[in-house]
Structure 1
Amino acid sequence: MTASILRICHLQLLPLLSGVQRVSLDELERLDAQSTRVLVCQSRGSLTEGAEASGASVIVIPELIREIHPLRDIKALVCLWKCFSREKFDVVHTHSSKTGVIGRLAARLAGVPCIVHTVHGFAFPAATTTLQRKIFHAMEWIGARCSHRVVCLHEDDARICRDELRLPDERIEIMANGIDLQKFHPLSLEADRDALRVGACLPAHRKLIMMVGRLWEQKNPACLVEAYCQLWESGDPGADLVLVGDGALKESLELRVKLAGLEPHVHFLGWRTDTPELLRLCDVFVLPSRWEGMPLAILEAMGCGLPVIVSDIPGNRHLVRHAENGLLFPVENTWSLTSALVELLENASLRIRLGAAGRAKVEAEHDIQKRVRNMEALYRDVLSAGG
């Protein structure tokens, strides 16, 4: 990175460490340490702790909220504009839908010379009403016009930028997500998995099905819980379910498990910092999302050599080819997910083959070190071109 990039700001909404937030933290941790790195966030939490541990500083803007609220949103816009004007950032890099729009508008008003936004899946294609879709589309259109570059994780989102937001090609970058291949790797052959499972308070002699993600509507954990309950209709499948994450749906999921009498076999672990270790101890990974950008959770599971079963949606299809490096099932189709689980639980050689193919893909295409170097090059290009 050239000396001209002195101050870099990443803007996030929530201080969690789910997929979108992990993208910011991975980049903040690996950007040139000679630059000043700053995270702006709604409040403090595991994300801000991770940012500070990496040497970045944190600015809290409590006015940022997820829901559309005109008064609060105007206050957030003013606060961000004042922050960006005061801090004189060279780069403001935004994430998330609504926060990304407000942040880009504030950065443009503050005269920030390099404004970049990463699309983690557009909200408006998944809108449930025409009015909602029009509002979300208008917001993204405004945000796009305030961006020097919009980073898309795959071609489908780049096509939306071109066709629906009318953004010219020179302002669109396609840059896939990456993971730390040294952290997310398969379990070594000499490791005692049974002992490690006991240490992690997981059953040693049962197969483990795992999901990592926020327990809310987008990730659709209810589909997985229902599929797991259906597995038991033919008797004990010899597998437990492990859910890593938390969210608004946790209570309803726990109730469904209780009604099925499966509480001893479903493990709600909450948010964890030892996800790589937990992934290595499991046998199958599932992500039944309704929509995605490019989920780190899938990449991390593939990096650990796990066979994956994921919903057949654009963000997932760019990572998983059915029967080549994982299995796809129609979104919301619980019975298809159940069938895929049976197929993998009963076929060890298929699990090994799909897991190895997944690991090979992330090694070839999704190294976080390469992604961060490419992002730094993008910043330099924008700054050298004056926008």
Structure 2
Amino acid sequence: MRILLVTTGLKVGGAEHQVVALARTFLALGNAVAILSLSSGREIEVPNGAHVVELNMRKTPTGMARALWQARALVRSWQPDVIHAHMVHANLFARALTRLVRCPPLVCTAHSFREGGRLRMLAYRFTDRWTSLTTHVSRDGRDGMIAAGGVSDKRIVVMPNGIDIDRFRPDPALRAATRERLGVTADTQLVLNVGRLVPEKAQDLLIRAFAHIDAMPSARLMIAGGGPLQQALSGQIAALGLASRATLLGPRDDVPALLNAADLFVLSSNIEGLPMVLVEALACGCPVVAADAPGVGEVLYDQGTIVPRGKADALGSAMSDSLREGRGTPAQVAARRERVQSAFSIEAVARRWLRLYASVADTEPVVHAEVA
């Protein structure tokens, strides 16, 4: 099958990583893949076998028209069997593209619980007839789009994201080496958060909660990720007297190692789509405490502690309880991994997508090869 993936960009982000992960897995399963990015520049390594086109689209009428014309030429020359767009801008762009060229079936995936306000929901609803199907990564997100009027309940289904299960796994040797590299001693309990430093991730709440945990005085907090709130969060850490106990690690490319090193992963977000970092934490066997953002319950079920959003005291109390219990027995570590292995492995998810593509494109998916 020839699959054209359309994405808003290829910079660091959960949806962007998912597009690249799907591309890599589709290729490994014997399909042809092209990636059309509306913006230029890459921060994510794209698989060699994928044909990549970057449009560098400008947010002007002329810029959008030029980008649509370039995309039209790609569809005509590459001739995909299906087009799969990801994120709101790419979704609306791909729908507009169907008005300019004879397109194969189009599937549009929403990744965020809050895809936008009233105007975007109107745009989604108006262009819904130009797509074969809309999907969302979580049940909460699907329900939110229906309630906001973006799509009817008969025209949207849930399709989760996936992770590389072999990359995210418990590794005692990696845990020891990473803790040594981070300067974390054997008697220190490491609390980890991974995410963009933006308001919806609510790391300011996490820092306040951490300042009042009563588990171990030697507990340390590390937050991996970059973003516009870095200076504000750094100032907050200093103001609370946490400079020796809380660290902003900045953007990282060693998340599996960090999750192995951690004694507890904490998600403080107010808004999520399907929080894949929780899937990654469970796959590494790490205990989890999370605010009840959309999608959290779908990931955790009974393999973590969920607290109300925006409640620093509840978050701190749950963190303290989890740190007292420790990382858990081998059976508990295995249970966390088993929770996500079948539902969220990237190969299982990619095969589900291929079956969905086949159903809308009326062709057989190629799944001869096995993922290495």
Q: TM-score category by the smaller chain?
A: 0.7 to 0.9
Q: Does 1:44 align with 2:41?
A: yes
| Counterpart residue number, 1:24 | 19
Alpha-carbon distance, 1:272 to partner:
1.8
In structure 1, the partner of 2:152 is 167
Structure 2 residue 103 is the aligned partner of structure 1 residue 116: no
Shift in CA distance, 23/205, structure 1 to aligned 2, threshold 3 Å:
same
User: What is the aligned partner in structure 1 of residue 369 from structure 2?
Assistant: none
Greater alpha carbon shift after TM alignment, 154-163 vs 365-374: 154-163
Question: Which residue is equivalent to 1:80?
Answer: 67
The amino acid that maps onto 2:95 is R
Instruction: Name 1:341's counterpart in structure 2.
Output: 319
1:349, distance to aligned residue in structure 2 (A): 6.8
Per the alignment, in what secondary structure is the counterpart of residue 210 of structure 1?
Answer: strand
Residue 332 of structure 1 corresponds to 310
| C-alpha distance in 2 between matches for 1:34 and 1:310 | 37
Return the alpha-carbon distance in structure 2 between the equivalents of residues 304 and 235 of structure 1: 23
Tell me what 1:96 maps to.
87
Q: Shift in Å at residue 235 of structure 1?
A: 8.9
For the structure 1 residues 75 and 333, does the alpha-carbon distance in structure 2 shift closer, same or farther, using more than 3 Å as the test? farther
RMSD: 2.5
Asked whether the equivalents of residues 263 and 327 of structure 2 are also in contact (C-alpha less than 8 Å), the reply is no
AA paired with 1:182?
D
Shift of 1:202: 4.4
Residue 186 of structure 1 aligns to a residue whose secondary structure is coil
1:256 is displaced (CA, Å) by 0.6
1:34 CA displacement = 4.3
CA contact 1:101–1:142 (8 Å) conserved in 2: no
Query: When the two structures are superposed, what TM-score results if normalisation uses the length of structure 2?
Result: 0.86
Paired residue secondary structure (1:264): coil
**Per-residue deviation, 1:204:** 4.8
Identity rate of aligned residues, in percent?
25
8 Å CA contact 1:108–1:115 kept in 2: the answer is no
1:290 to 270, 282, 295: 270
Q: Is the 1:209–1:282 contact (alpha carbons within 8 Å) kept by the matching residues of 2?
A: yes
The unaligned stretches of length 5 or more in structure 1 are 65-71, 128-132
Give me the whole-angstrom Cα distance separating, in 2, the residues matched to 1:111 and 1:74: 22
**Is the 1:98–1:139 contact (alpha carbons within 8 Å) kept by the matching residues of 2?**
no
2:5 touches 2:35 (CA, 8 Å); kept in 1? Answer: yes
Report how far residue 192 of structure 1 moved: 7.0
Structure 1 contact 213–244 (Cα < 8 Å) conserved: yes
**Matching residue within 155, 171, 195 for 1:187:** 171
Of the three residues 244, 248, 251, the one matched with 2:228 is: 248
**Displacement after TM superposition at 1:197 (Å):** 1.6
How many residue pairs get matched? 356
Cα separation, 2, equivalents of 1:264 and 1:55:
46
AA in 1 matched with 2:338 = A
Give the TM-score taking structure 1 as reference length.
Answer: 0.83
The residue type equivalent to 1:110 in the other structure is: V
Contact 1:9 1:40 in 2 (8 A): no
